[in-house]
Structure 1
Amino acid sequence: MRRIFFLLASILFLLPVTAQKKNFNYKFYGFVRGDLFYNTRANMAPVDGNFYLYPLDKSPDAQGKDLNATPNGSFYTFTTRLGLDVQGPNIGKARTSAKVETDFGGFSSSTTMLRIRQAYVALDWEKNNLLIGHTWHPLFGSVFPDMLNLSTGAPFQPFNRSPQIRYQYSTSKIKLTASALWQLQYLSSGPKGMSEDYIKNSCIPELYAGADYTSNNGWLVGAGIHLISLKPRTVSEWKNPSDPSSEIQKYKVNERMTTFSYEAHVKYTGRNYTFAAKSLMASCLDHTALIGGYGISSINKETGEQEYTAFRHSTSWINFTYGNKWKPGIFIGYTKNLGTSKELISAEPVYGMGLNIDQLLSVNINLSYNLPHWQIGLEYSPATAWYGTNNLITGKVEDTHSITNHRILGLVMYYF
């Protein structure tokens, strides 16, 4: 950790010297953030509990007691952030810029680590913008909830930053976006867990195309379409079931799972309030912190090569905030499992997150006190998940029971 701070201090010391070049400027920004939280039970909550998603199902012990029905809570400051914006010099008529942003939310087995949040360069003409690097996934978009929780509306709002090449065309009211994306920190699930190999071996990046319209009276509306094409495996280890005496053999296979997702969003900004909403028909977006994934629809009996079918989820949220200094807000998110387009050969294995959840409903009520450079807030969030078993024919979840968690969050932030 001392080496990290020494490196940052060295950068801060050296940059003023190099920043005297003509048509070149930079600006540091960031915040110190502390999160104090309490949950009534165990949850799906990466980043050591800070990135809260949904309550976990019952896990009975030998006496039938629920192992997950245990309260938990902690206090962390590792989401403290430091960023650097750089501008210039121009290349022809293009304005150039770059961003480097980091926090301490990258985890090893024992401690927090410095990680890249964003790192990109951009070329900006009058109506055209080209970005190359690591930044927000376009499904996160220009409309997202205003709330205190670090998850920013996930698992109802996509949350992901990825390496990408993004082109945008903008007029005074219209913005068109096209992106090709790869994976780094937010990974798809598959036969060997979460890995970037599925998109790497695919040789087809994620693709997104979308459009936004901004009116003169505070409205923003838009929609987009997303494609993901994964190669879950390139090699199978298979024993022919029709020949009990045969041994397990390796076979080269050509497997692919390709699916589309669709989203629409709206936001209205009034004098001292905002209303926002987003709805998705989501498929295999578990790498964006949404519930989703895929299962196996067929197996070649000679080589073990598999075909796959994606789970479809309807996911929507609405968000309302009011005020500036004292700022109350409410967020409501809902997800429904719509099943698969093909029959599953088995309920296990399936690859993804929350695939045995039929419905998920979450409410978030928050109040923050805002001053220049300061934010202090309190948030209460009850969430209920309906767990059950997957119907192999439809992929839908049946015979459900509900699990509820109550989460309380206290937040202090100092911006600079």
Structure 2
Amino acid sequence: MKKYCLLLAVLLGGTANVFSQKKGFDYNFYGQVRTDLFYNSRSNSETVDGLFYMYPLDKNLDPNGEDLNGNSNSDFYTLYTRLGVDINGPKLGKARTSAKVEVDFRGSGTTYSLFRVRHAYFNLAWKKSALLVGQTWHPLYGDISPEILNLNMGAPYQPFSRAPQIRYRYSDRHFQLTAAAVWQSQYLSVGPKSNKAGETGTQKSQEFIKKSCMPEWYVGMDYKHTGLIAGAGVHVSSITPRVNSEVTDDNVTTTYKVDERITGVSAEAHVKYVRHNWLVAAKSVLGTNLTQTSTVGGYGITHIDPVTGKQAYTPLRTSATWVNVAYGKKWRPALFFGYLKSLGASKEVIDVLGTGTGLGQLFTGTAELTYNVPHWKFGAEYSLCNAWYGDEFDAKAKATESHTVMNHRLVLTALFQF
């Protein structure tokens, strides 16, 4: 045991010496230890066993009429414990240099308790402009997100993703222009699981954006003045669902090379006002195929070539809006409301691919109370989510008849921040 303690002391001492020898650098270490206890009244669409919670699953009745998704669930986690470092470096020409590296223990998918990179980027800043290169928040997430205890930060109403990107910002007095080229890493687009023509099994994969050879694009403008941020942006994504198609005729399967692409244009508007312990924030998104941002949607198949199996697509459209109000400092109550509606496609479709494509509407109402003192936060949050699942759909994949499914969720959280 003494040997291990001695080794640790040497390593820490060596690290400190390295930092002290880096002239012109300034390091600020930070982090948190976070614990989350949650309860759901039924099964839900989620990742990490309910930590990243989305919406209740549809009813799945057994032969006796019992709902297989009607089971409650609960668990306790520390996976969002976090470590990070902000770095200010020496100038590069006339540019001020900085960087950030931040990790947590959430892992990926269903692989828990492993380091996961949250942010990793460097930034070059001039008098009025800045260039960021690396992974950080997706521009659709932006600088405005709801203040809630749920770790999904308002998804699927709020686009949620951290992504590799090259982002340029220009600021002049109260206005800020943002332009970014964005790729995918941990949050991925949905596409076909099979190359067989007409099959609509889905998967999330990085292959769809890699094979498109085209990043996502975002351009937005913000107005900032005395606690107010208001702005809007436009986002374009273009992915390649398949490059090969398998067609079976008379029990003989032939593979064809195909050129497929689905392009979507989305828009968002946001506002946030902070003054005298008040927070009022809202965002509205008209989204097309934004499955890589933890929301609902996808695209439909409009045509299948009878010879090659090549498929043509059209994006599914969704409208999502959230509003968040909070007041206080030490004791801080907050309310959150989110509403999402599936608008279907602009063309008639044969079938659809995506996430939550069976939803017609979605509503969430949340109430929370947090107790905040230096370095500590304790909170409790109750959330009600009502999902309308389609019983009948028109030719453009929009629900015309639906039934409701409801989930009650309780979250208890404690954070030690350093």
Q: State the TM-score, normalized to the length of structure 1.
A: 0.94
Write out per-residue CA displacement over residues 301-322 of structure 1, whole angstroms, 9 at most, x where no aligned residue.
1100000111100100000000
- In structure 2, relative to structure 1, the CA distance for the partners of 1:69 and 1:13 (3 Å cut) is farther
SS in 2 for 1:381: strand
Count how many residue pairs are aligned between Structure 1 and Structure 2. 402
- Partner residue of 1:272? 277
- Tell me, in whole angstroms, the C-alpha distance in 1 between the residues paired with 2:306 and 2:169: 47
- Tell me, in whole angstroms, the C-alpha distance in 2 between the residues paired with 1:8 and 1:411: 32
Residue 25 of structure 1 and its aligned partner are, at CA, apart by 1.0
Write out per-residue CA displacement over residues 82-126 of structure 1, whole angstroms, 9 at most, x where no aligned residue.
001111111111111111100011137564211111111111111
- Partner residue of 1:43? 44
- Establish whether residue 339 from structure 1 lines up as the match of residue 344 from structure 2: yes
Q: What is the CA RMSD across the aligned residues, in angstroms? A: 1.6
- Partner residue of 1:233? 242
- Partner residue of 2:82? 81
Q: Which moved more, 1:84-93 or 1:9-18?
A: 9-18
Q: Which amino acid is 1:304 matched to?
A: G
List aligned pairs for 1:183-202, cutoff 5 A. Answer: 183-192=184-193, 193-202=203-212
- Partner residue of 2:412? 410
SS in 2 for 1:19: helix
Q: Which segments of 5 or more consecutive residues in structure 1 lack a partner in the other structure?
A: 1-6
- Tell me, in whole angstroms, the C-alpha distance in 2 between the residues paired with 1:15 and 1:226: 42
Whether the 8 Å contact between 1:154 and 1:289 is mirrored in structure 2 is yes
- Tell me, in whole angstroms, the C-alpha distance in 2 between the residues paired with 1:58 and 1:31: 38
- Tell me, in whole angstroms, the C-alpha distance in 2 between the residues paired with 1:265 and 1:45: 26
- Partner residue of 1:210? 220
SS in 1 for 2:295: coil
Whether the 8 Å contact between 2:48 and 2:110 is mirrored in structure 1 is no
Higher strand content, 1 or 2: 2
Superposition misfits of 4+ residues, deviation over 3 angstroms: 7-15, 107-111
Q: Which amino acid is 2:387 matched to?
A: A
Residue 47 of structure 1 and its aligned partner are, at CA, apart by 1.9
Whether the 8 Å contact between 2:391 and 2:403 is mirrored in structure 1 is no
- Tell me, in whole angstroms, the C-alpha distance in 1 between the residues paired with 2:222 and 2:335: 24
- Partner residue of 2:267? 262
- Partner residue of 1:250? 255
Whether the 8 Å contact between 2:38 and 2:410 is mirrored in structure 1 is yes
- Partner residue of 1:221? 230
Q: Which segments of 5 or more consecutive residues in structure 2 lack a partner in the other structure?
A: 1-6, 194-202
Whether the 8 Å contact between 1:345 and 1:392 is mirrored in structure 2 is no
Write out per-residue CA displacement over residues 341-375 of structure 1, whole angstroms, 9 at most, x where no aligned residue.
111113xxx32211110000000100000000000
Whether the 8 Å contact between 1:344 and 1:392 is mirrored in structure 2 is no
- Tell me, in whole angstroms, the C-alpha distance in 1 between the residues paired with 2:11 and 2:302: 53
SS in 1 for 2:101: strand
Residue 248 of structure 1 and its aligned partner are, at CA, apart by 1.5
- Partner residue of 2:107? 106
- Tell me, in whole angstroms, the C-alpha distance in 2 between the residues paired with 1:56 and 1:363: 17
Q: State the TM-score, normalized to the length of structure 2.
A: 0.93
Same amino acid, percent of matched pairs? 50
- In structure 2, relative to structure 1, the CA distance for the partners of 1:270 and 1:73 (3 Å cut) is same
- Partner residue of 1:146? 147
Whether the 8 Å contact between 1:210 and 1:222 is mirrored in structure 2 is yes
